Structure 1
């Protein structure tokens, strides 16, 4: 099966490409800028303008839609309007399956970026291309970056009761490969990590892995956002889950480094 992967140069895309190749897929990778990779056919296209999309979807049986723009003022153009352009182009090209990657909790957590992701899902569901949607929980590296940013001034600042469920991107990539092989589900599937962690639990393990003595300075996120995050808005009870834990990520990243 020949698959077009949008957002192929992104954080998840860099993991997805070797996974798909290992599963025997023929991969056409798409990004806004030209790349050199002898393993895949690389094409240049821009979701925010539609330039190059018709050629990118021509001749593929499925599209794996990873591309997103969470910041920089491009979110609506890329995630909503760009997804619409992609769906229309894929329909015109006779693509038989579009797999869209989304985020667990976008329908429960009142956050601006999530509103755009939810709108993108609605575009996919309304399109003529048979579809599947996989919502994933947070990648461990994202939680790691969040904790480093929250520790810039010394203590680690955060709401101790916020719940997270880190999932390994390699396991998400494997789940996506399986979904492509299975064909369109016309359903929204959640996929999360094996553990739900409170923020203070995640911080404690992170400090130990980094051999850090930074204290936790607790704050309470106010309003609807805080309530949604504390009540597990970013977590899922769906099965199956991934198997790699936050502790596994920390051991791989920091074991023996003594980074503070």
Structure 2
């Protein structure tokens, strides 16, 4: 009597298992080397403290249309800094992926009997989790210096969290593509700098109507501004208008672009 055949695991179960392993590996790597994440976190935190305590009174007078009230500018700037935090954190993803490439780790993974997509999925999920944790930390600093969102409902908070996660996913895939296409970690860090520069030329720090007329369309329709204005509307009750669907469209487009870019770079023949 022959022994019963052992059922082979499905491709989905293999992908989930191997992706979980890669996620655990990346999270352990981030825990053992926290200096990169901490350095990237310092940029939004220092900008938050600088603009609030050095320029806060002046900026709030311009936004409020009256006397200086620092709390007005704190409420205005925190949503922009939360989005900037995601951009800063994903730079670490580009560096991490580039390091794995240059050190031959990804080439070694390719020779192993694991699901190929799990290598990138582990990086992406790990980066999104780190981005959300970084947003929570920067948000805690904002609350400590006076940020409040008393009018937001539970649904609006959930929508804000979903928007942050969607933005993190979109820019993480872009960062993975940058890391895979860079010759080394330093080049990956330099190529990912637009993820920090773009928030600086958005509505994160000053309203769009305070910008020069020729520059306003650039700031208005780049990826960060619609997401920032949507997040402000959800947390502070300001008008969202058409920004919500522009933000979602940007996120979906960047996710698809980053995914196929990363996939093509990952599947190319090693030199």
When normalised by structure 2's length, the TM-score is 0.26
Larger radius of gyration: 2
More helix by share: 2
Structure ranking higher on relative contact order (CA contacts 8 Å, 6+ apart): 2
More strand by share: 1
